[in-house]
Structure 1
Amino acid sequence: MMKNNKLTTTTLRVLTASCLLALANVSHAEIALGGNNGWEFSSDGSINGFLVNESSDSVPDNTVGGNISGEDSTRVRTGLLPAVLGFNIRSPMIDGIRGNARIGLYPQIQNAGTKNQFGSQIDLREAFFKVEGNFGEVLVGRALNLFQGKNLLTDMTLFGVGVQGGVNGGGTTLGRIGYGYIYANFNAQMRYTTPNMNGLQFSGSIVDPSQIKGDVAATETDMPAFEGELSYASTIGTNKIQGWVNGLWQEASFATGGDVSARGLALGGQLVMDNGLEFLVSGYTGQALGSTLMLDTDSLDSAGEERDNDGFIAQAAYTMGSTKFGLSYGESNADETDADRASGKRHISKQSSTTAGVYHDMNKWLKLVGEYTRAENEWYGDGSNQKADVISVGAFFLW
């Protein structure tokens, strides 16, 4: 569990929420080189920085969970997306198949709340190859997981700050991680994706399993995790639509005997209209998912029972010229178990946030961002709550 209801530096290091699909939307150009034999090399990436001011209530006494620091602070830091430098290799087409490989490096710009830290944090989030052909696509390596991946990628705070989380961490901010979805994260996996069938696609992956943790931990994993996603994207006239549903299942066992299972279902839909309006709704439900970091922190109570989790996002935006104005609300909920009620501690019940943001493209390589977020945590028991106001301004350099 998180000590004093704050995200530790180690926990924040897990929160680097960028990925290949996100960067495909962010990056407006590639630096590409070709060879006479048909091989291609390219690089893409981005760097961002934000000035973030947070005014926060203190953490209520005798509470467990929550991602608001309880500190008033001003930071210069990376937002929800870290910086990235991606290297891509593309093979020639041989016998109807083509290979692609990617390695992505993801640093942050800030120190972990100290003046003297020699080298900011860097994460190797992507290291995979894909084989493509008429049969579809096979991916092997470390990549963004399917379960709740699109919930993350369609969140407008992806290009901002959202909820800050721990103010002295070396990782990224939270955005809506724990406030509308749970962090999908990057894992070792083997994934198959069907060909695009008039906008309809299915992906299924075998994923390196995780220990399922909370007040106790199920550490033995004799089976992999399984994730799948069915998605659809199309146009209605000049309007764009997409929808998706994805799921997760995994079991783990206690060293002393007995097992637990984590399972989840997530879905969403988005409409982008030619008049500049954009609407999004996404949500999730399941058990032993955790409130913020999937499977790794508060998935189980002290008796080893799975906690139930659910949440959603509702988002609207309007784009006028090169400027997008967005407003969104999200919340994540965790049920209280019998063991939680008997513990004498007040456990987290709901984490919610409202974000208003302005995202302006100065040109193809420079994006300016301003956001205001009101975050709120609520606990079971006497109805204790905590609020924070987060104001951020920053910019992206993209290539």
Structure 2
Amino acid sequence: MNKNIKLAVAGAVLAMSATAANAGIIIPAGEWTLDVNGNVNAFAIMGSAKDSNVISGGGLALTKDAASEKSNNSINTGLLPAWLGFTGTTRQNDTDVSFTISMQPNVSSNGSAGDSAAPATLFRQANFTFGDKSWGSIKLGKDIGIFASNAILNDMTLLGVGGQGVATSGHSTTLGGIGTGYIYAAWKGQVAYTTPNFNGFQATVGLTNPNQGIASVGTLTTGTAASTLNQDRFGLEAQANYSFAQDNFSGKIWVGGASYKVKPTSTLEYTASAGDIGMNLNAGGVGLTAYYYKGDGVGTTFMHSNSVSVGGQKRDSDGGYLQATYVLPTKTKVGIAYGVSKLDLATGETALSTTVKENERFTAGLYHPLTKHLNLVAEYNKIESTGQTNLKNTSDAVSLGGILFF
């Protein structure tokens, strides 16, 4: 399997005992080796909302609809989108060179035609890399963001659903632990350098697209205004990892950081920054993951979302998740997880009932490798959203489905 698709399934591999990380369809082509790979997944998601409070500024729990119906059912892609990737690799002039282009189609929508409400097929990767193990590698193009990428890649719900999100079927993916334990790393244009591997230590630093289009002021989204403003500084993202393995024990520890100059309106400008730390340990059939992040003016769920008050003051945010898994003799992975993302009021800000204070998630899952490539998944997820005036919405969902890697 190519390096880029490994990014997409690394967390899934950690969450599974099955050998999901197999090479795709390998095609020799002259001086190049082409790897065609990806996954197809689908889930029947049966959601139920308990409340009807309005927490429109970042609340992730489902609410009852206009007819006071609590059910919200869908057949949809899970957290990891369906994937078709093409990677070519070669070595020329003592340099390893590769390219990756991938597409991520959707499963279904509630439109009358079956696809009228669905977004267009996504293209989340278009990049090339060059380098050598002696001096590292350089990546140019679109790929998963550097900051917070390990949070999502070590989340066991990468094989399943996690948070359903406030949307119904037809959307690209579910949320997993996005907004209930970590900020979405997103897929970004970037120029990044990765060091050689120094006995398990490796670091990546990069410039990224500013991606300010989803910045928001208070509860008012200003994406349209932001997208018309000149974005006069690249984002800066970095991550350092240390991986180790001995006998039946392995693990990974990482730290990361990010900094952005944000200008969501013509009169408001500020610097947003965030940092995180995480750890994944595996011993025998037991796996443990712990993660924590803290941000200043980065918002919650999506970077820059609900990040400042109406008056332009930055809001602090933090959160993380704890996860434990165990492989049964049947090779079924059993996992439980708790995650939370919190958003604080800015200095001098009056509490708004519609602005989220925190989103919490509890997940229990079963992940069974039916074959070498096919995994069956059953999950239960409970989401609780609390507003700044302590109004609460609670919803839960049971999801059944599977994911096939190739």
TM-score by structure 2 length? 0.88
- The aligned counterpart of 2:241 is 231
The counterpart of 1:114, out of the listed 108, 111, 122, is 111
Q: 1:262 to 1:397 in 2, by over 3 A?
A: same
Compute the displacement of 1:184 (Å): 0.5
Q: 1:163 to 1:255 in 2, by over 3 A?
A: closer
**Residue 89, structure 1, aligned to residue 88, structure 2:** yes
Q: Which one-letter code corresponds to 1:301 in the other structure?
A: S
Q: Can you list the C-alpha shifts for 1:78-126, whole angstroms capped at 9, x where unaligned?
A: 11111000001112x2221010110010111011x22314475410000
Task: Work out the CA distance in 1 between the residues paired with 2:53 and 2:361.
Answer: 18
- The aligned counterpart of 1:261 is 271
Q: 1:236 to 1:29 in 2, by over 3 A?
A: closer
Aligned partners of 1:336 and 1:347 also within 8 Å: no
Q: Can you list the C-alpha shifts for 1:154-184, whole angstroms capped at 9, x where unaligned?
A: 0011111111011244221111110000110
Q: Can you list the C-alpha shifts for 1:24-63, whole angstroms capped at 9, x where unaligned?
A: 644423101113x431111001101101101112331476
Structure 1 regions of 5+ residues with no counterpart? 1-17
Task: Work out the CA distance in 2 between the residues paired with 1:106 and 1:63.
Answer: 28
- Secondary structure (helix, strand or coil) at the match of 1:341 reads coil
- The aligned counterpart of 1:316 is 324
Task: Work out the CA distance in 2 between the residues paired with 1:62 and 1:258.
Answer: 25
- Secondary structure (helix, strand or coil) at the match of 1:65 reads coil
- The aligned counterpart of 1:136 is 136
- Secondary structure (helix, strand or coil) at the match of 2:7 reads helix
- The aligned counterpart of 1:213 is 216
Structure 2 regions of 5+ residues with no counterpart? 14-19, 65-70
Task: Work out the CA distance in 2 between the residues paired with 1:315 and 1:347.
Answer: 28
Q: Which one-letter code corresponds to 2:7 in the other structure?
A: L
Compute the displacement of 1:345 (Å): 3.6
Task: Work out the CA distance in 2 between the residues paired with 1:257 and 1:77.
Answer: 41
Which residues of 2 match residues 147-162 of structure 1 at below 5 A? 147-162=147-162
Task: Work out the CA distance in 1 between the residues paired with 2:317 and 2:240.
Answer: 22
The counterpart of 2:300, out of the listed 288, 291, 294, is 291
% same residue = 29
Which residues of 2 match residues 46-195 of structure 1 at below 5 A? 46-61=39-54, 64-71=57-64, 72-91=71-90, 93-111=91-109, 113-118=110-115, 121-133=120-132, 134-165=134-165, 166-195=167-196
Q: Can you list the C-alpha shifts for 1:268-323, whole angstroms capped at 9, x where unaligned?
A: 0011002x01111001001122211112x311211111111100100100012421
- The aligned counterpart of 1:204 is 205
- Secondary structure (helix, strand or coil) at the match of 1:21 reads helix
Q: Can you list the C-alpha shifts for 1:195-223, whole angstroms capped at 9, x where unaligned?
A: 00000011100111122433365644211
Aligned partners of 2:55 and 2:387 also within 8 Å: no
Compute the displacement of 1:337 (Å): 2.3
Q: Which one-letter code corresponds to 2:334 in the other structure?
A: F
Runs of 4 or more above 3 Å deviation: 23-27, 61-64, 117-121, 215-220, 253-258
Q: 1:141 to 1:88 in 2, by over 3 A?
A: same
- The aligned counterpart of 1:349 is 357
Q: 1:105 to 1:301 in 2, by over 3 A?
A: same
The counterpart of 2:395, out of the listed 375, 388, 393, is 388
Task: Work out the CA distance in 2 between the residues paired with 1:339 and 1:190.
Answer: 39
Compute the displacement of 1:346 (Å): 4.4
* Residue-pair matches, total: 375
Q: Which one-letter code corresponds to 2:37 in the other structure?
A: D
- The aligned counterpart of 2:67 is none
